[in-house]
Amino acid sequence: MKNIAVIGAGTMGNGIAHTFAQCGFQVNLIDVNETALQNGLATISKNLDRLLAKEKISEADKTNTLANISSFTNLKAGVKQTDLVVEAATENLDLKLSIFKQLDAVCPPEIILATNTSSISITQIAAATKRADKVIGMHFMNPVPIMQLVEVIRGYNTSDLVCETIMQLSKTLRKTPVEVNDYPGFVANRILMPMLNEAMETLYNGVAGVQEIDTVMKLGMAHPMGPLQLADFIGLDVCLSILNVLYDGFKNPKYAPCPLLVNMVRAGKLGVKSGEGFYDYTTSKKAETVSKQFS
């Protein structure tokens, strides 16, 4: 595989494109929104500048990486003559089903279709195609160029050959792939999201404040980032979406989203992406939000 199409130029999509391109792959970055594409390319360039400043790459590495990326707003043109498609669109089932139906119609039957979904059933996504054996989950972690893990999720019909191909490809990207089976939340989010949700419940119940909760987990559990700060970083809307998938999938009340999270998302407090969540990112010094107003 040398030619990769990545669908979605947002945080995950541009990170995936960056990673493939830096490892020498030719990448077609696809997004229906031209502004999103340009923002994604600008983010890749900025992240390469950070690596350059830390002397982790050379100027030539940056130039070559950017040269390896082409951008498209037309899906059919973007996936033409590619060896693998990685979908990294918004975590929305209907959107993903629509994209995979389109991909199945325009991609040659031998092409593997991967999704970066963090919680949605691979088997359900594969059912929108006529190549369920060639549909697989390739769940990268954020920020993609830095984080080593790739969850490789087998759908019910994913073939052994396709799974092994993606495992080996992940290693080519200097990542550590871990094979898991297709159940709601897979491994990473099935364990992570209840922890973040419990931190929100702890805040909601008035046990401690935002910074106190995060400090306990950072200093007491050696977490590099507190759970509420991590939720802000992931995006509170994304956290809510994943918890809803877990709750719908297992029908277990332990996965029910905290009311505080629900109200913050309704209020547009989505974390870093909106400038405010459990912390305020609009000023140079992060400040705790007045979460009681969303209770």
Please tell me which residue in 139, 241, 274, 291 is annotated as part of the active site.
139
Show the 3-state SS of the chain. Answer: CCEEEEECCCHHHHHHHHHHHHCCCEEEEECCCHHHHHHHHHHHHHHHHHHHHCCCCCHHHHHHHHHCEEEECCHHHHCCCCCEEEECCCCCHHHHHHHHHHHHHHCCCCCEEEECCCCCCHHHHHCCCCCHHHEEEEEECCCCCCCCEEEEEECCCCCHHHHHHHHHHHHHCCCEEEEEECCCCCCHHHHHHHHHHHHHHHHHCCCCCHHHHHHHHHHHHCCCCCHHHHHHHHCHHHHHHHHHHHHHHHCCHHHCCCHHHHHHHHCCCCEHHHCECCEECCCCCCEECCHHHHC
Q: Which of 118, 119, 170, 197 is catalytic?
A: 118
Which CATH code is given to the segment(s) 190-290? Answer: 1.10.1040.10
241: number of Cβ within 10 Å = 21
For residue range 215-239, list pLDDT tens digits in order. Answer: 999 999 999 999 999 999 999 999 9
Q: Per residue of the chain (295 residues), give pLDDT as tens.
A: 899 999 999 999 999 999 999 999 999 999 999 999 999 999 999 999 999 999 999 999 999 999 999 999 999 999 998 999 999 999 999 999 999 999 999 999 999 999 999 999 999 999 999 999 999 999 999 999 999 999 999 999 999 999 999 999 999 999 999 999 999 999 999 999 999 999 999 999 999 999 999 999 999 999 999 999 999 999 999 999 999 999 999 999 999 999 999 999 999 999 999 999 999 999 754 444 444 444 4
Strand order in the sheet with 84-87: 69-72, 26-30, 3-7, 84-87, 112-115, 135-140, 149-154, 176-181
Token couple for 63: 């130039």
Binding site per annotation, positions for NAD(+): 8-13, 31, 91, 96, 118, 142, 273
pLDDT for the residue 291: 44
Instruction: State the greatest distance between any 2 C-alpha atoms of the chain, in Å, as a whole number.
Output: 56
Cis ω before 177 (30° cut-off from 0): no
Instruction: Tell me if residue 18 is catalytic.
Output: no
- For the chain, the first-to-last Cα distance in angstroms comes to 50
Annotated catalytic, 119? no
64 token code pair = 């070559």
Q: Based on the residue annotation, tell me whether 201 is a catalytic residue of this protein.
A: no
CATH domain 3-181 topology: Rossmann fold (3.40.50)
Which amino acid, residue 39? N
Asked about 189 being catalytic, the answer comes back as: yes
Cβ atoms of 163 and 136 closer than 8 Å: yes
Q: Which two tokens stand for residue 10?
A: 């947002």
Give the start-to-end residue ranges of the domains of the chain. 3-181, 190-290
Question: Which of 151, 170, 241, 276 is labelled catalytic?
Answer: 151
Radius of gyration of the chain (CA): 19
- As given in the structure block, the two tokens for residue 233 are 């970083």
Alpha-carbon gap, residue 200 to 232, rounded angstroms: 11
What pLDDT does 283 receive?
Answer: 76
Q: How far apart are CA 168 and CA 191, in angstroms?
A: 26
Binding-site residues: 8-13, 31, 91, 96, 118, 142, 273
* pLDDT given for residue 54 in this prediction: 94
Q: What is the pLDDT of residues 64-88, one digit of tens each?
A: 999 999 999 999 999 998 999 999 9
Catalytic residue among 189, 197, 241, 274: 189
Dist CA 194 CA 227 (whole Å): 10
